[in-house]
Copies of this chain bind each other. A is one copy, B any other.
Amino acid sequence: MDSSPRYRQLALHYLQAIQAGTLQAGDRLPSLRALMKQHGISLSTALQVCRTLESEGWAEARERSGYFVRRPTRLATPPMDEPATDRAPDPAQYVGIHEKVSEFVMRRRYGGVQLDLAVARGAPSLYPADALRASLSRLLRQRPQMLTTAAPSRSRTPFREAISQRALRAGMRLSPDEVLPTNGCIEALNLALRAVARPGDTVAVESPTFYGLLQVLESLGMRALEIPTSPQTGLSLEALELAVRAYGNIKAVVVVPHLQNPLGSVMPDSHKARLVALCEQHGMALIEDDTYTELLDAPLVPPALKSFDRSGNVIHCASLHKVLAPGMRLGWVNAGRWHARVEMLKYTQTRSNEELSQWAAGQYMATGAYDRHLRHLRDQLRSQRARTADSVARHFPAGTRINLPPGGLQLWVELPERLSADRVFDAALREHILVAPGTLFSNSSRCDHFVRLNCGWPWSPALEAGLRRLGKITSSLAAAAPADPRRGAIATAATVNE
C-alpha cells in the first residue's frame, strides 16, 4: 500500500516507536549496520533514515557512538490534561459567537497583520499549482463547452469517481452517485445540519471546536451543546452519554474524528464504533467532518466513522480545501439515509457545483501524482509542526503546554492559567502578529487561556523571529499577570480539568 521511498517508511517506523515509548529518550537507535541487515537496505538508505530522524529533532548523532533518541526540546512542555466529564454540559445557545468572530475579523482587517498564525491554512507553495493548471488547461482545450453548459445535477464526474475510489481506503463503500459535490466542507455541513435538524433543535459538538461550526449553528438558529473533548482521543463518549441522559433530545452530533480542530486529537477506532452505535441507539444523526484525514502522519488511512455505519445514520462531509487546492471550493457530502433530502437542499441552495474544477481535480486525483503530493505535504507539515513546537517550548513562559498532534497544520497551545488568550491576542496584534484566541472555539470560558497557531507556513527566518517575538510577548504578560483580578477570574473559570 505505502509507496513512499523506503527510507521514509523506515524513518516513520522508528518515529512511531519513539512516539509510542518503545524507544525512549537516550536509547540508542539500531546501528547503520544493524539497519542494513534487519531491513535489507543499502548503507546510503540507512544513513537517510537516521538523518531524517535527526533533521526533525527525534534523534541526535553522538560521535563514534551512533544515533540516539533525543528528548525533543518541545517535550519540555508537558502534554495537556484530559477534560472533566463528570458534569452534564450546559446547552447554551451560541448567541454570541458571531459577535466575537466579527470583532476578530474586523481587528484582523485593520491590524496591519504581517504574520498570520490564526488561520488553519497551508502556504500556496505546498500545493500542486502547476499540475492543477495543466489539468485545467487541457480540459479547457478538450471540453470548452463545460463553461457554457449548465452542469447536470447527476453527472458522473471524475471527481465523484475519485472520491468514491479513495473512500475504499477508509473503509467506506459508496458509489459515485452517493458523492454529492458541494462548495467546500462548510456547505456540506450546512446541508447535513439542515437535513437532520430544525431551528431551535440541539446539536452536540466537540468542545473546543472549529468556530466556523459554531457560526453555522448560530446562523441556522440551532443550539450547540458543548461536549468535553480529549486532546488525545477526541470527543468524550462518557460526556456524550451523560448529556443524552440529562437532556435527551439531541438531534445530531458533529465530530471531527481525525485531527480535530483545534485540538489535533485522533479518535481510536474502538471509540468510533461505540460512537456510531450510541448515535444510532438514541436517534441522533452523526455528522462526520473528515477534512483533515489525509494530513495524518500514518502509513494507512484510519477508518472513517462512516465505515462503521450500517443504517445510513452517519453523514460524511469533507473537502479538498486543506489537502489539494485551497483556491478551489471542492467539498462533498455522502448523506446516508438523508441523501435525497440533502440533494434537494443542495439544489435549492446553490444548484450543482461547476464541472470544470471537478474534472480537473478528479483527473489529477486518479494519478499517482496525487499520492506523491500528499506525502510531500505531510512531510512538510510534520517538519513545520515540529519546528513550531520547538519554538514554543523554547520561547513561551513556564507552564505552557502543548500536545503535538500526529498530523495537520496547527498547534493548540495552553498558556499558563492566569494568562488570558485575549490579552495575548491584543498584545501580539499590536506587533502585527495574529493568533487565534481560544475564546473563539467555545462559548464557555474553558478555552480562555489557549491559542491556536498555524503551522502551514514554510519555515523561514521571519517566521522564526515572529514566534520568538510572540514568546516574549507572552512571557512578559505572564510575568506581569497575577495581580489582575479580571484575568484571575478568567483563569479560574478557564481551568481545563483538574
- Is A221 engaged at the interface, CB distance under 8 Å to the other chain? yes
- Is A345 engaged at the interface, CB distance under 8 Å to the other chain? yes
Which of B119, B136, B326 meets A136, CB within 8 Å? B136
Residues A144 and B133 in contact in the complex (CB < 8 Å), given A345-B219, A350-B186: yes
* Docked pose: A186 CA to B347 CA in angstroms: 9
> Shortest beta-carbon distance, A117 to chain B, in Å?
15
Chain B residues in 8 Å Cβ range of A133: 140-141, 144, 147
* Docked pose: A350 CA to B149 CA in angstroms: 22
Which of B154, B187, B357 meets A349, CB within 8 Å? B187
CB of A132 within 8 A of CB of B150, answer no
> Shortest beta-carbon distance, A193 to chain B, in Å?
11
Q: Which residue from chain B places its CB closest to the CB of A132 in the assembled complex?
A: B147
- Is A98 engaged at the interface, CB distance under 8 Å to the other chain? yes
- Is A212 engaged at the interface, CB distance under 8 Å to the other chain? yes
- Over the window 190-230 of chain A, the binary record of Cβ atoms lying under 8 Å from chain B Cβ atoms (1 yes, 0 no) is 10001000110000000000001001100101000000000
- Is A146 engaged at the interface, CB distance under 8 Å to the other chain? yes
- Is A160 engaged at the interface, CB distance under 8 Å to the other chain? no
Binds B, one of A18-26, A123-131, A292-300, A391-399: A123-131
- Is A121 engaged at the interface, CB distance under 8 Å to the other chain? yes
Chain B residues in 8 Å Cβ range of A285: none
- Is A145 engaged at the interface, CB distance under 8 Å to the other chain? yes
CB of B327 within 8 A of CB of A148, answer yes
Chain B residues in 8 Å Cβ range of A190: 348-350
Q: Which residue from chain B places its CB closest to the CB of A183 in the assembled complex?
A: B350
Q: Which residue from chain B places its CB closest to the CB of A344 in the assembled complex?
A: B98
- Is A38 engaged at the interface, CB distance under 8 Å to the other chain? no
CB of A212 within 8 A of CB of B344, answer no
Residues A350 and B348 in contact in the complex (CB < 8 Å), given A137-B140, A144-B133, A148-B127: no
CB of B148 within 8 A of CB of A326, answer yes
Chain B residues in 8 Å Cβ range of A121: 150
Most buried by B among A136, A194, A216: A136
CB of A327 within 8 A of CB of B350, answer no
Most buried by B among A126, A129, A141, A221: A129
Which of B98, B186, B328 meets A147, CB within 8 Å? B328
Interface residues on A, range: 35 or more
Chain B residues in 8 Å Cβ range of A348: 186, 190, 212, 215-216, 219
- Is A321 engaged at the interface, CB distance under 8 Å to the other chain? yes
Chain B residues in 8 Å Cβ range of A145: 124, 129, 327
Restricting to A76-133, which residues have a CB under 8 Å from any CB of B?
Answer: 98, 102, 109, 119, 121, 124-130, 132-133
- Is A442 engaged at the interface, CB distance under 8 Å to the other chain? no
CB of A344 within 8 A of CB of B102, answer yes
* Docked pose: A149 CA to B216 CA in angstroms: 23
* Docked pose: A345 CA to B212 CA in angstroms: 11
Q: Which residue from chain B places its CB closest to the CB of A321 in the assembled complex?
A: B150
CB of B136 within 8 A of CB of A327, answer no
CB of A124 within 8 A of CB of B148, answer yes
Chain B residues in 8 Å Cβ range of A347: 215
> Shortest beta-carbon distance, A452 to chain B, in Å?
17
CB of A149 within 8 A of CB of B136, answer no
CB of A354 within 8 A of CB of B326, answer no
CB of A148 within 8 A of CB of B132, answer yes
Chain B residues in 8 Å Cβ range of A149: 124, 326-327
- Is A184 engaged at the interface, CB distance under 8 Å to the other chain? yes
* Docked pose: A192 CA to B355 CA in angstroms: 26
Q: Which residue from chain B places its CB closest to the CB of A122 in the assembled complex?
A: B148
- Is A172 engaged at the interface, CB distance under 8 Å to the other chain? no
* Docked pose: A125 CA to B149 CA in angstroms: 9
CB of B356 within 8 A of CB of A327, answer yes
- Is A353 engaged at the interface, CB distance under 8 Å to the other chain? yes
- Is A351 engaged at the interface, CB distance under 8 Å to the other chain? yes
A-to-B contact residues, CB < 8 Å:
98, 102, 109, 119, 121, 124-130, 132-133, 136-137, 140-141, 144-151, 154, 182-184, 186-187, 190, 194, 198-199, 212, 215-216, 219, 221, 321, 325-329, 344-345, 347-351, 353-357
Known: A184-B351, A219-B349. 14 other contacts (CB 8 A): A98-B344, A109-B154, A127-B147, A132-B148, A133-B144, A145-B327, A147-B327, A148-B326, A182-B350, A183-B350, A187-B350, A198-B221, A327-B355, A329-B354
Closest 10 pairs (CB-CB, A-B) = A127-B148, A183-B350, A124-B148, A150-B326, A129-B144, A147-B327, A219-B348, A133-B144, A129-B148, A215-B348
The 17 sampled A-B contact pairs (Cβ below 8 Å) are A98-B344, A119-B150, A127-B148, A130-B144, A137-B137, A147-B328, A149-B326, A150-B321, A150-B326, A184-B350, A186-B348, A190-B349, A198-B199, A219-B344, A219-B348, A327-B355, A329-B350
